[in-house]
Amino acid sequence: MPTSLESESESASKPPAGVVYLVGAGPGDIGLITVRGRELLERADVVVYDYLSNPLLLSHCPQAETIYVGKQASRHSMTQQQINQLLVEQGMAGRRVVRLKGGDPFVFGRGGEECEALHSAGVRFEVVPGITAAIAAAAYAGIPVTHRDCNSSFTLVTGHEKEAEYQDSEARARQQTRGSGDDADASSDLDWSAMARLPCLCFYMGVKSLPRICARLVENGMDAATPAAAIQWGTTERQRTVTGTLSTLPDKIAAAGLKPPAITIIGRVVALRQTMNWFEQRPLFGKTIVVTRTRQQASDLTAQLRDLGAQVIEAPTIELHPPADFTAVDDALRRAADYDWIIFTSPNGVEFTRRRLLDAGLDIRAFGNARIAAIGEATARVIESSLCLRADMNPVRSVAESLADELHQAGEIAGRRFLLLRADIARPILRQRLEALKAKEVLDVPVYETRQAIALPADLPERIDAGS
């Protein structure tokens, strides 16, 4: 019989219990992930994500290890069995794992198979549903999947069912037990005659199969004039929608060059797109815009551009870093109260100053009675939000020359002392103007350094060369 000491030792040697969260990433728009999904990303130790999970969601888990297991038609980075094993191993290692899956984990996402594998291995798991593409992509294309005047049901179908080249070995083996050949319905799980009588169908991943799908439905009695639409990259700035009828849509898709990932909606509700197409009508929809600002500055501009419909590529050409040596900064902050004016020329200068005040064991009281000047509304807002101070002066024109002019007109330069907290590459004109107008002292201190970015996004040069 083991002693209590042995039991404690044995318990200590076991890894902590891990947990795997199967999280639906939604259809592509990063704003459509659930609150629960985002919270789990922020707390994750490791994130296992697939091809249809928007990689921008990984910004919510900067500290986590990320593992790509994407599967595209005929190109799998891992088989499903390997993914299952990876999740089991990570869970058994005691890690908090987020399995980020495009759309909803249980809607053609093979989440059920992953849950079975985790259960068999004794690994705890939870499922966080996500918005599936049939609902979201259709809505973003202006197509309601149900409408009282058109239909009271809609049906989700996989379009990959019989495309052997899209399947892994397990799926091919399963279908070989049912029969083979395009005309052998024994090899299909679908009842085409029943589906042809349904009012609204949504086919996932069916671009390659669409000619056969449409032909099957017509053969089984669906009206060839039934409205139909295919939506590529639904809910994202790359969304493209092609509309037609059951008989014309395959040729229209081929002519448009529409490729996966895409879903196809078939039913009278598609005709409502003419009045409900809101997403693709935004003023910058279809435009791709490269934002070269730093990561710290790009977020607001990026959000506004995306709200207007643009596809935004963030490609910072510079990076901001703290000074290599803080001696000059610390000396200036410790005697900041000796100055009449403290000047910030950018939001970044404010943020780097705030961080250094705290790191140096100081706080805003170090500024004493010095007055604060800002260049630009954004700078003034950050001074207020980060330092709890209101700028005493902020020129109408957001340039250094205007600040110097307003200080001079107010009689606030001659004999005054100025502390400038800004970038190492800031324009010298402000310091020069203050000195020329008889300031008693102008101390220009770089609180952050600007360096050239190490790399641009991998595909950016190619896209620029291609004019896309």
443: enclosing H helix or E strand: strand 441-452
Cα(31)–Cα(116) distance, rounded to whole angstroms? Answer: 30
At residue 356, the 3 state secondary structure works out as helix
130, 258, 454 from 207: Cα distances, Å: 23, 8, 39
Cα(327)–Cα(138) distance, rounded to whole angstroms? Answer: 58
Cα(239)–Cα(231) distance, rounded to whole angstroms? Answer: 7
How many Å from the N-terminal Cα to the C-terminal Cα in the chain? Answer: 72
User: In the annotation, is 71 catalytic?
Assistant: yes
Cα(468)–Cα(460) distance, rounded to whole angstroms? Answer: 10
User: Are the C-beta atoms of 143 and 272 separated by less than 8 Å?
Assistant: yes
Between strands 71-72 and 124-128, the pairing is unpaired
Name residues whose C-beta falls within 8 Å of residue 384's C-beta, 6 or more positions apart in sequence: 390, 391
- Report the largest interatomic distance among the alpha carbons of the chain, rounded to a whole angstrom: 94
At residue 227, the 3 state secondary structure works out as strand
Burial of 377 (0-12, 13-18, 19+ CB in 10 A): exposed
Question: What does the DSSP 8-state code read for residue 143?
Answer: -
User: In the annotation, is 259 catalytic?
Assistant: no
Other C-beta atoms within 10 Å of 368: how many? Answer: 12
Between CA 173 and CA 156, with CA 220 as vertex, the angle to 5 degrees is: 55
Question: What does the DSSP 8-state code read for residue 26?
Answer: B
Which tokens sit at 322? 């703290």
> Which residue in 14, 29, 71, 191 is the catalytic one?
71
Burial 287-315 (b: 16+ CB within 10 A, else e): eebebebbeebbeeebeebbeebbbbbbb
Between strands 240-245 and 227-232, the pairing is antiparallel
- The gap from C-alpha 393 to its chain's centroid, in whole angstroms, comes to 38
Angle between helices 327-334 and 347-359 (to 10 degrees): 80
158, 376, 418 from 431: Cα distances, Å: 67, 17, 9
> Which residue in 14, 29, 45, 50 is the catalytic one?
50
Return the active site residues. 50, 71
